[in-house]
A = this chain, B = another copy of it.
Amino acid sequence: MRTVRVGLIGLGTVGSGVVDILRRHRADFVTRAGVDIELTRFADRNEARFKELGLPAEACTTDAADVLGDPDVDVVIELIGGTGIARDVVLGALSAGKSVVTANKALMATHGREVMDAADTHGVDILFEAAVGGGIPIIGPLKHSLVSNEITAVYGIVNGTTNYMLTRMAEDGLDYDAALAEAQERGFAEADPTADVDGLDAAAKIAILSSIAFNSRVTFAQVPVEGIRSLSPEDISYAAEMGYTIKLIAIARRAEGGIDVRVHPTMIREEHPLAKVSGVYNAIYVVGDSVGETMFFGEGAGSLPAASAVVGDVIEVARHIQRGCLALVGCTCHEELAVRDLGELETEYYVRLLVRDEPGVLAAVASIFGEHGVSIASVIQKRALVAGAEIVYATHRASERAVREALAEIDSLAVVDVVESVIRVEEL
């Protein structure tokens, strides 16, 4: 058995988890998986981390290039994150003939093709299970066990921060600000929560999942995204009353003429398995033509769960190195499906309006919906407000474009104060 030598670049949360797992289990991996994996080089801009993690000084460097240039390093783990230096590091490692394991969702969602092509050119592996769903096996299953399927849809709760916040809002009536403050206090949200609450993190992940599920490259920039900032307790309680739960769902679905990909707060039936995924947990629901409906559930973030996936990938690469079969499964994007414009979407909608309490409001709104071919399934008029009323509409299946056009007109009616919220309703 040869020892597979690994250079670890980026010693933050996930990196320290990787060090921890290999310290505890290196000997186990020899018996359990037949591979001997040694972390031989470490790079981080922050020198203090070397000491914190108790790493041998001679193995540590602040310059990633030292790791890429080390001929003894077989595999590079990239945990820098982002699309700047990380891209150079990954491409550099691949050109040096080293396989790469990364947890970098932004890189894979933005430069996935470039990176996969480089791995292909150099005949090495690039694995990135940790980029989506933390420790949850999802990329492996899609590329292996489920490869026999034509995947028709992927629905993911892939951001633990927002799922925690939505759970607190739904179960305990917190508003957005209180939920965010609590998530930050408990370490589930960053000081700047933008990437999470605006759905950007989820968008990168669904870009990656769609690329694999549909064998057709989808990039981060192609994913329309809407976060949870404007969700109000009222919408959540109306949803509950109607039998729905609001989740931030990352959706990818085959549709006529291409695929629909998007991230937005979504009302789903409270009986659906995804509706029951609470707190910081993640889950990815995959529908295939043969397998039917499957779901993969677990911890979507955190040091050890993500490190679990990273080390799993490293073991896989080590097996390949040992057996001389690197690049066994490379890029699988062999098709060129169009990512449809969001306007082409057809689904159901929940719309909440604040209106003047005047006669003719319902008729005026109904007539505009009608003109745009948007058919109404139900209307709830419930709260009498100081200066008016609140009306909630649930539409039948309608086109996004038609709904948006209708709402623009409705918004401009003198009797309508504001279109307070529009939430897509999905029968998954």
Given the complex, which residues of B lie within 8 Å of A334, measured CB to CB?
Answer: 31-32
Given the complex, which residues of B lie within 8 Å of A33, measured CB to CB?
Answer: 147, 329, 332
Known A291-B305, A296-B294, A299-B292: A144·B312 in contact at CB below 8 Å = yes
Interface digits, A32-64 against B, CB 8 Å rule (1 contact, 0 not)? 110000000000000000000000000000000
Nearest chain B residue, comparing its CB with the CB of A148: B311
* CB of A36, distance to nearest CB on chain B (Å): 14
Within 8 A of B (CB), among A262-301: 273, 276, 288-299
Given the complex, which residues of B lie within 8 Å of A310, measured CB to CB?
Answer: 148
State whether B145 touches A28 (Cβ < 8 A). Answer: no
State whether B148 touches A137 (Cβ < 8 A). Answer: no
State whether A308 touches B25 (Cβ < 8 A). Answer: no
CA distance A32 to B211 in the complex (A): 12
State whether A295 touches B293 (Cβ < 8 A). Answer: no
Does A107 belong to the interface (CB within 8 Å)?
no
Does A12 belong to the interface (CB within 8 Å)?
no
CA distance A140 to B17 in the complex (A): 23
Interface digits, A306-322 against B, CB 8 Å rule (1 contact, 0 not)? 01111111111001100
State whether B147 touches A137 (Cβ < 8 A). Answer: no
* CB of A243, distance to nearest CB on chain B (Å): 16
Does A85 belong to the interface (CB within 8 Å)?
no
- Count of chain A residues with Cβ under 8 Å from any Cβ of B? 59
State whether B17 touches A290 (Cβ < 8 A). Answer: yes
Given the complex, which residues of B lie within 8 Å of A295, measured CB to CB?
Answer: 295-298
State whether B148 touches A141 (Cβ < 8 A). Answer: no
Given the complex, which residues of B lie within 8 Å of A299, measured CB to CB?
Answer: 291-294
State whether A308 touches B288 (Cβ < 8 A). Answer: yes
Within 8 A of B (CB), among A312-361: 312-316, 319-320, 323-325, 328-329, 332, 334-335
Does A125 belong to the interface (CB within 8 Å)?
no
CA distance A295 to B298 in the complex (A): 6
CA distance A145 to B311 in the complex (A): 8
Extra contacts, 17 of them, besides A137-B141, A140-B145 (Cβ < 8 A), are A21-B290, A129-B145, A135-B294, A144-B144, A146-B312, A148-B310, A148-B311, A273-B276, A276-B276, A290-B305, A290-B307, A291-B308, A294-B296, A296-B297, A319-B329, A320-B328, A325-B325
